[in-house]
Chains A and B, each alone.
Chain A
Amino acid sequence: MLKILQPGLYTSIQDTGRFGYRNIGVPMSGCMDSISGGFANALLNNDKNDAVMEITMVGPKLAFMASANIVITGAEMCAELNNNPILNYKVYPVQNGDILSFGKLKKGIRCYLSVSGGFQSEMILKSRSFYAGITSQGFFKKNDLLSFKHQEINNKHPKAAINTKIPFYDTNAIEVFKGPELELFSSRELRKILSTTFTVSNDNNRMGYRMEEEVVKHTKSIITSPVLPGTVQLLPSGKLIILMKDAQTTGGYPRIFQLTEKSIAILAQKRARDTVELKLITDL
């Protein structure tokens, strides 16, 4: 068990997502940056579906009430264990009474905390991922308790090596596939979109990232159809919305591109005023 002494800005539990309920309108959810979330589990020999804590921009302050091994991956947020700095991508044992806190945000915006055996928040519709209305909470509040499997601390943790000097998300190139409605637009319009440097707007969260630039205005709409995390929708105003993990399951705007899972993870580490460029990985 651990106690949330301070909740941070937006701290939640996420796993690989909730599948099988789109036909009743339930979003996928799951780690925004699934690559860092995956590393957090892999470094502890956890199952890839184990639940991790997703921490956004301002980290929480946590008091451990049992022993476990922990790992932090993703954004660099100056984590400290009992006021001693600790590194990302390195396994640390914690014990009853230990305090984990976070400091200045240095790189990226989302980091992932895993414990050996995974966090045991409520399992709803086959997933532990928080989503308000499905799980009883959308994010942690002060004094919340969170359980994890008690484990004897095992120092034989894997010594996986990950080059963290240049994180994978340290790029503004977002790789995309063609989307279902790409052909509604001329190659000139598409080239304009692909040659634009987009700025992440303030309107960015777990549901979607809206870009500032107005590139191609249009009046095209489609019959409501499924959308996925990573779907790039072109709004009539000419702006792009890139859907993220908590996006609704259906949409009516043209779907012009689809991000790779890795690019969703890269975008998930961007904040307002960061820039991105879309790179089509097939021919136009």
Chain B
Amino acid sequence: MGNYQLTYKPFGESAILIEWPQIISKEILKDIRFFVTKIEHQKSKDILELNFIYHSLLIIYNSKNCYFAEIKNTLESIYENELHIPEKLEKTLWHIPVCYDEEFGIDLAYLSSEKKMPVEKIISLHKSVDYTVYGIGFLPGFLYLGGLSEKLSFPRRDSPRLAVPKGAVAIGGNQTGIYPQSSPGGWHIIGNSPISLFDIKKEIPCVIVPGDEIRFNPISKEEFELIKIAQDTGNYELKSITNA
């Protein structure tokens, strides 16, 4: 039995977009993941790709003989079907080391004066939350995180920086994130993580998946350098706890 009223829309010749109610919620994300698991259980050869983020699920089919009405019926019955409901949905909590030193957190002083909040308070609010990964996009390995304290919400820069360094941890609007590679960006930089969120040389380039959670773990500049070296030599593994 499905929990939500879903909207099915054709999206071009060979894709379907399924939308849950337009709110950002952990329950919706969980419902999407249940549905994805049930669809994957069917092992349909026609499905090229399942892609979900926030309240949307995109299904790309591998043929142009993608008959919307037919596929919608099939998907609806899979959603309503109580068989093959996974007993548990695994979720991993990842500990992401972040150095909040002012050498990296170049906008901490600015945020502190604008928000009239000590730098220590900004860091403590930022590190004390387990953030939900609602999806990955924008750049390979860029996590859309939910859970930023309202007290840290702050509008983006008027003009984006041309190059935000790789690993930068930043705040933009009511979101926080980590830049997986150097790129232009308009968020305020509060620290840097020495880890590579996306490494194409690895068999699994990005170990964090939508549905997981992350926690920022403050480290010193010395630890930052050590982790960087360990990672460059292939001797660093992200700390994580997996449970259902």
- Contact yes or no, B137 A177, CB < 8 A: no
Cross-chain contact B138 with A248 (CB below 8 angstroms) = yes
Which segment, of A79-87, A94-102, A142-150, A221-229, faces chain B?
A: A221-229
Interface hit among B43-51, B84-92, B93-101: B43-51
User: Does A225 contact B56, Cβ atoms closer than 8 Å?
Assistant: yes
Is B55 interfacial (CB-CB < 8 Å)?
yes
Question: Does any Cβ of B come within 8 Å of A125's Cβ?
Answer: yes
**8 Å CB contact of A250 from B9, B24, B53, B181:** B53
Q: Flag if B11 contacts A25 (CB, 8 Å).
A: no
CB of B136 within 8 A of CB of A177, answer: no
- Check if A24 sits within 8 Å of B206, measured CB to CB: yes
Chain B residue nearest in CB terms to A255: B11
On chain B, the residues within 8 Å of A260 by CB distance are 12-13
Residues in A neighbouring B17, C-beta threshold 8 A: 180, 225-226
In the complex the two chains form, is B56's CB within 8 Å of A226's CB? yes
In the complex, what residues of A have CB within 8 A of residue B64's CB?
Answer: 261
Given the contacts A23-B210, A24-B198, A124-B200, A224 and B49 also touching, CB distance less than 8 Å: no
Q: Chain B residues with Cβ under 8 A from A21's Cβ? A: 140, 205
Asked if B111 is at the interface (CB within 8 A of a chain A CB), the reply is: no
B54 within 8 A of A: yes
Q: In the complex, what distance in Å separates the CA atom of A27 from the CA atom of B137?
A: 9
Contacts A20-B48, A258-B12, A260-B13 given; does A223 touch B24 at CB 8 Å = yes
Given the known interface contacts A23-B136, A25-B141, the answer about A177 and B54 at a Cβ–Cβ threshold of 8 Å is no
Chain A interface mostly: loop
Q: A22: CB under 8 A from chain B?
A: yes
B11 touching A224, Cβ below 8 Å: no
Interface string of A223-243 (1 = CB under 8 A from B): 111101011000000000000
Report A68 CB to chain B, min CB distance, Å. 29
B residues in contact with A248, CB < 8 Å: 137-139
Contact partner, A224, options B15, B135, B140, Cβ 8 Å: B135
Considering only CB atoms, which chain B residue lies closest to A264 in the complex?
B12
Given contacts A20-B48, A125-B205, A134-B200, contact A180 B11 (CB under 8 A): yes
Chain A nearest Cβ from B181, distance in angstroms: 6
For residue A223, give the distance in angstroms from its CB to the closest CB of chain B.
5
Task: Please give the distance in Å from B63's CB to the nearest CB on chain A.
Answer: 12
Q: What class of interface size applies to chain A in its complex with B?
A: 20 to 34
Q: Given contacts A226-B17, A226-B56, are A24 and B209 in contact (CB under 8 A)?
A: yes
Interface membership of B10, Cβ < 8 A: yes
Instruction: Name B21-60 residues within 8 Å CB distance of A.
Output: 22, 24, 48-56, 58, 60
Interface residue from A19, A25, A258 paired with B60 (Cβ < 8 Å): A19
* B-side contacts of A26, CB under 8 Å: 140, 205
Report B-chain residues with C-beta under 8 Å of the C-beta of A120: none
A228 to B16, CA, bound (A): 11
Residues on A with beta carbons closer than 8 Å to the beta carbon of B135: 23, 224, 250
Q: Report yes or no: B140 in contact with A25, Cβ–Cβ below 8 A.
A: yes
Closest Cβ of chain B: how far from A263's Cβ, in Å? 10
Return the contact of A261 from the options B13, B50, B60, B200 (Cβ within 8 A). B13
Contact assessment for A23 and B51 in the assembled complex, using a CB-CB cutoff below 8 Å:
yes
Q: Does B144 contact A (CB under 8 A)?
A: yes
* B210 and chain A: residue at smallest CB distance: A23
Chain A positions within 8 Å of B180 at CB level: 25
B142 at the interface (CB under 8 A from A): yes
CB distance from A184 to the nearest CB of B (A): 11
Residues of chain A lying within 8 A (CB to CB) of residue B198: 24-25
State how many angstroms separate the Cβ of A35 from the closest Cβ of chain B: 13
A258→B11 contact, CB < 8 A: yes
Q: Hey, which chain B residues are within 8 Å of A223, CB to CB?
A: 22, 24, 54-56
A residues in contact with B56, CB < 8 Å: 223, 225-226
CB interface residues, A 63-97, toward B, < 8 Å: none
Minimum CB–CB distance from B11 to chain A (whole Å) comes to 6
Closest-CB distance, B144 to chain A (whole angstroms): 6
- B139 neighbours in A (Cβ, 8 Å): 25, 248
From the candidates A24, A179, A224, A225, name the one contacting B205 in the complex (CB within 8 A). A24
Q: Which of A19, A27, A133, A177 contacts B12 (CB 8 A)?
A: A177
Interface membership of A121, Cβ < 8 A: no
Residue of B nearest to A132 (CB): B181
A249 located at the interface, meaning its Cβ lies under 8 Å from any Cβ of chain B in the complex? yes
**Residues of chain A having any CB pair with chain B under 8 Å:** 19-27, 124-125, 133-134, 177-180, 222-226, 228, 230-231, 248-250, 258-261
Hey, which bits of chain B sit against chain A, CB under 8 A? 9-13, 15, 17, 19, 22, 24, 48-56, 58, 60, 64, 135-142, 144, 180-181, 198, 200, 205-206, 209-210
